[in-house]
Amino acid sequence: MGADQHLDLRASIASALEWWSAAGVDCEIDDAPRDWLAHGRAVEAAVAAPSGLPETAAAAPLPSTLAAFVAWRSGPAAPEARWPGQPIGVQGDAASGLMIVADMPDREDDRAGALLSGQVGQLFDRMLAAIGRDRQSVYIAALAAKRPPAGRVTDETADRLAELLRHHIALAAPTRVLALGNAASRALTGLDVAHARNALRPINQQEGKAMVVASYHPRFLLERPAAKADAWRDLQLLTGETE
């Protein structure tokens, strides 16, 4: 009990939100009754107040080449431009045929300047090795180029980020996509990981079609080791060992 009991309240709150998001909780509750049927009216009212994305940026055509788009995602017109921190770019080889999409950078990623670092990254590297891959033989990107202030992708930005991710996939033209975590899974399949697993789900592209496999993020597997067996089956589905 004599140890330093200093507690970073912001970090603790963000960690709790992240845990609940991974568990599938994606809306807030309170003690007061709510008129849930009024949600549609609230959405209509919200159309007049966009999610912080400049109107000119939202209306402008997206870059039509992969290199230009990747650069644009780190620029001032990206939805995350006003968030704190530095954007974290893509890694690996876009021509590899396998694109891996994380939901967002972790705190360790902010410090390392690369996605899927630290203990999460060590587990991720072992997952890649299990299917005969490494970071140089896959293409790694994130739904959000920066870590959201609350540690989760909110409804305000989810649709725009999903639109950008689909454009990114169309430009990279992979044949298989591994979506790690609920936010990435929702962006590509419309479902949480628990409901999107065990299936190859198509994403139509400008040229050809990619098949998506949704699975648990390595950070979730570190907290719930029992889910590793399911993650292994997802990887086998991804590589075509099971269909």
Determine, yes or no, domain membership for 18.
no
Determine, yes or no, domain membership for 33.
no
Domain with 128 in it = 89-243
pLDDT tens digits, residue range 137-164?
A: 999 999 999 999 888 998 889 999 999 9
Quote the pLDDT of residue 130: 97
Determine, yes or no, domain membership for 21.
no
Q: How far apart are CA 205 and CA 185, in angstroms?
A: 17
Q: How far apart are CA 130 and CA 76, in angstroms?
A: 38
Determine, yes or no, domain membership for 23.
no
Determine, yes or no, domain membership for 55.
no
CATH number of residue 139's parent domain: 3.40.470.10
Q: How far apart are CA 32 and CA 30, in angstroms?
A: 6
Determine, yes or no, domain membership for 2.
no
pLDDT tens sequence for the chain (243 residues):
444 444 455 556 656 666 666 555 555 555 555 554 554 444 343 333 344 444 444 458 999 999 999 999 999 999 999 999 999 999 999 999 999 999 999 999 999 999 999 999 999 999 999 999 999 999 999 999 999 988 899 888 999 999 999 999 999 999 999 999 999 999 999 999 999 999 999 986 555 689 999 999 999 999 999 999 999 999 999 998 665
Question: Which single residue is written with the structure tokens 């009990």?
Answer: 1
Determine, yes or no, domain membership for 15.
no
Number of domains in the chain: 1
Determine, yes or no, domain membership for 221.
yes
